[in-house]
Amino acid sequence: MRIATWNINGVKARLDGALTWLKETSPDVACFQEIKSLTEAFPKEPFEDLGYNLAVHGQKGFNGVAILSKRPIDEVAVRGLPGDDGDAQARYIEALVPMGRGIVRVCNLYLPNGNPIGTEKFTYKLAWMKRLKAHIKSLLALEEPFVVLGDFNVIPDPVDAKNPQAWVEDALFQPESRAAYREILNLGLTDALRTCHPGSGIYTFWDYQAGAFQKDHGIRIDHILASPQAADLIVNAGTDKFTRAWEKPSDHIPVWVELEERA
């Protein structure tokens, strides 16, 4: 089965593009970030017409995440990242979807950007990552297949940027951000895209400004991390870079993983 993630940067602005992408690539599960929509304002019908079930966790104007699944969504396990009841930002949703004889848990996140560094935004990013680590640790104890995927807003390594030096003052490439990401990975998760494409030059984001896409000044910040039980099933992973060349593109492109289905 194919599970994909895409920061669409506004569901209303990207409605046509998102529908075209779903029709062309037919993921079984698609996770969106930055829907920038209230839950009740999400345009569900055109997606349902393509055969998708939806679980939406939105907020007004900013953030917002959604899970679309051609298979039944057995349960929406979590809305909002656990660990801080005072955090109202809609950046996390988790659902259970049938796979093979069992289920796969899909954990869709939009990790805080954290810029500019030296502000409460960066503090919030690091605190959010600490909460994410704790939550993933609890999921690993279940010893089940799951994927944690979405816009992590972290450039893991220099190889994940065309021009790493351009990002040294950015929250996405701070040593603290990278260390927190590494701690999560080192709990025992597998970076699906890295595993299938170990080389350099794979990016998932190009800024709208200064012709970044034309110059291929990209970074890899959208990730799919697999639990050990899911990593055993990885067949392939990749990106849908063609969407970035469309009219009115998102600044991110989709990332997907193909998991072997064992009946």
Q: Which residues bind DNA (CB under 7 A)?
A: 9-14, 36-37, 60-63, 112-113, 115, 121, 208-210, 248
Choosing from 52, 110, 181, 203, which is the catalytic residue?
A: 110
Dist. CA 72–CA 38, nearest whole Å: 23
Residue with Cβ nearer DNA (113 or 229): 113
State the DSSP string of 57-84. E--SSS--EEEEESS---EEEEES-TT-
Q: State the pairing for strand pair 2-7/29-33.
A: parallel
Question: Which residue, 41, 42, 31, 43, is CA-closest to 6?
Answer: 31
Tokens of 96: 């259970």
Residue with Cβ nearer DNA (16 or 232): 16
Tokens of 52: 């998708």
Dist. CA 34–CA 259, nearest whole Å: 25
| Closest separation in Å from C-beta 145 to DNA | 30
191 noted as active-site residue: no
Residue with Cβ nearer DNA (113 or 236): 113
Quote the distance between the C-alpha of residue 43 and its chain's center: 20
| Closest separation in Å from C-beta 38 to DNA | 7
Residue with Cβ nearer DNA (22 or 230): 22
208 noted as active-site residue: no
Q: State the pairing for strand pair 146-151/102-110.
A: parallel
| Closest separation in Å from C-beta 56 to DNA | 14
Question: Which residue, 57, 78, 12, 21, is CA-closest to 255?
Answer: 21
| Closest separation in Å from C-beta 218 to DNA | 14
Residue with Cβ nearer DNA (63 or 69): 63
Per the DSSP assignment, residues forming a β-bridge with 33 are 7, 65
136 and 187 in contact (C-beta within 8 Å)? yes
Choosing from 28, 151, 160, 222, which is the catalytic residue?
A: 151
| Closest separation in Å from C-beta 250 to DNA | 8
Question: Which positions are annotated as active-site residues?
Answer: 110, 151
